[in-house]
Amino acid sequence: MPGKEQAMFARYLGFSEKHITDGAYCCDVKLYSAYNEKHKAGKGAIFPKRFLFVGRYAREKGIEDLWQAFIEWQNENSNEWELWCLGKGDIKPPVHQKIRHLGFVQAEALDDIIRNTGVFVLPSTFEPWGVVVHEYATAGYPLLCSNKTGAAGAFLQDGKNGFMFDAGNKEQLKEKMNKFSTLNQDELNAMADHSVKMAAKITPAVWAKRFMTMFEAL
């Protein structure tokens, strides 16, 4: 299973402890760690005040809530933060001077985007896991995730490397975005470092070791 909450579901289905292990899903740690190493110094000096969403433009991703919350937040409290969105889908995106729509980009071509963005956001209303959370934690991003994002349970410690909010609650989402805007450079960098630490809990090597231990116990 990918995480502890999913392991709980496996127990509910009747699987014994010896047949359950977590850490099953893993991002390309080598690639995203390289992005972090490359851009850590630059972000450490000037943290990019830009949220980054990566995913399909689909209702279950909470993308409409994100757009609406961001626009309302800017109207109520105009500031220098921007929202960059990476993905495509059936939902027509809004036109706003502080929202950029970047379309689909291959993981190997993310360099400029990662260099210029600072906080990863995933506001999903239904997200059983979400490897993308692991990717951007590994890349050194503070996280802003809904409580329906499965991977947030593994990689997000509320207040330590980001914030969590109730899925579909735009007021909470605005509040958490505003919290990020009040943090200073050192606080944002500390969150980024903690994300990297959290992301290191699951790697291909860790998963292979857990799998072999479970296999040998059969």
Give pLDDT tens digits for 119-143: 999 999 999 999 999 999 999 999 9
Least confident of 26-30, 79-83, 98-102, 176-180: 26-30
CB 137 within 8 A of CB 199: yes
Within-domain flag for 215: no
Number of domains in the chain: 1
pLDDT of res. 8 = 65
Within-domain flag for 213: no
Within-domain flag for 195: yes
**CATH for 168:** 3.40.50.2000
Rounded Cα distance between 109 and 184, Å, is 29
> What DSSP string runs through the chain?
--SHHHHHHHHHHT--GGG---------HHHHHHHHHHHHHHHHHS---EEEEES-B-GGGTHHHHHHHHHHHHHHS--S-EEEEE--BSSPPPP-TTEEE-----GGG-HHHHHH--EEEE--SSBS--HHHHHHHHTT--EEEETTBTTHHHH--TTTSEEEE-TT-HHHHHHHHHHHHH--HHHHHHHHHHHHHHHTTS-HHHHHHHHHHHHHH-
Within-domain flag for 80: yes
**Cβ neighbour number for residue 211 with a 10 Å cutoff:** 13
**How would residue 144 be classed by pLDDT, with cut points 50, 70 and 90?**
very high
* Stronger pLDDT, 202 or 121, i.e. the higher one: 121
Q: Containing domain of residue 155, as a range?
A: 26-201
Strand duo 82-86 + 143-146: pairing:
unpaired
Give pLDDT tens digits for 57-99: 999 999 999 999 999 999 999 999 999 999 999 999 999 999 9
Within-domain flag for 96: yes
Within-domain flag for 12: no
CB 45 within 8 A of CB 110: no
Within-domain flag for 155: yes
Rounded Cα distance between 170 and 48, Å, is 23
